[in-house]
Amino acid sequence: MSILIDQNTRLLVQGITGRDGGFHAQKMQEYGTKVVAGVTPGKGGQDVFGIPVFNTVVEARKVTKANTAVIYVPAKFAKDAILEDISAGMDLVICITEGLPVLDMVEIRQVLEQSKTRLIGPNCPGLISPGKSKVGIMPGHIHMPGSIGVISRSGTLTYEVVYNLTMNNIGQSSCVGLGGDPIIGTRFVEILDLFMKDPETKGIVMVGEIGGEDEQIAAKFIKEKVTKPVVGFIAGKTAPKGKRMGHAGAIISSADSSAESKIKILQEAGVTVVDCPDEIPAIFLKKLR
């Protein structure tokens, strides 16, 4: 199995007529994802790589039965794109766009809570269920089908973790990039729960970083609910307090949001925390014998 996306996912690409949207629509299509529609207001009737373009999400969904949307539009239009997806009843929305204002996400979160739509992102690389479907910008060729679920706040570190797993012949069930902004749609706990319910996921990698309290909340959930082995990595050990490092949410605002504090809390919850991502494969080779 896989979580969130699979071979039955029917994908709609918002911003498909732009440079990034068109490029990644083609890459997702080449991977085997069913890209059934694109949406760019005012450009309905066109097609991109054989993918029909519509003016609205409602129209695209009615014609193509799309159930998932991925967003490649500028930050100033991203809020409206997400709200349009929620209004249209999309099951899953993945927002690749970075730079969304925090107040936009506050409004989006309020609307999400009254809907059935799940949002991944913003400012995320998307997700992939190897061999079945990929949505976003993750490089498909470094993944291989298998039994390790990967969740990460960092796109680049996701790729490093996956590459090391694949090079050691350890495949992945699904890999989810949550995004590094202070307010995001889906967090660690929700994906941990999905991996726990997936019978084909035998182990989990969790990649966190400084800032916020998502890792602390996840640690409590792991201690109480997760029975599968979890290996963790926390980025930002050398980051100075009060200085943002990379992601908008990666800033130490208190002692509890430092890398050292998060590592300790995760270890107390039973997570094996590594110093470097390349240590992860050896741990799973032992745990899953």
Whether the CB-CB separation of 123 and 98 falls below 8 Å is answered with yes
Whether the CB-CB separation of 68 and 94 falls below 8 Å is answered with yes
- Catalytic one of 24, 141, 143, 247: 247
Q: Which residues contact 221 (CB under 8 A, 6 or more apart)?
A: 188, 189, 192, 193
Q: What whole-number distance in Å separates Cα of residue 106 and Cα of residue 152?
A: 22
Q: What whole-number distance in Å separates Cα of residue 137 and Cα of residue 242?
A: 30
Whether the CB-CB separation of 287 and 170 falls below 8 Å is answered with no
Known catalytic membership, residue 247: yes
Phi, psi of 272 (to 5 degrees): -85, 110
Q: What whole-number distance in Å separates Cα of residue 221 and Cα of residue 230?
A: 12
Q: What whole-number distance in Å separates Cα of residue 115 and Cα of residue 137?
A: 26
Would you please indicate which residues are annotated as catalytic (active-site) residues?
247
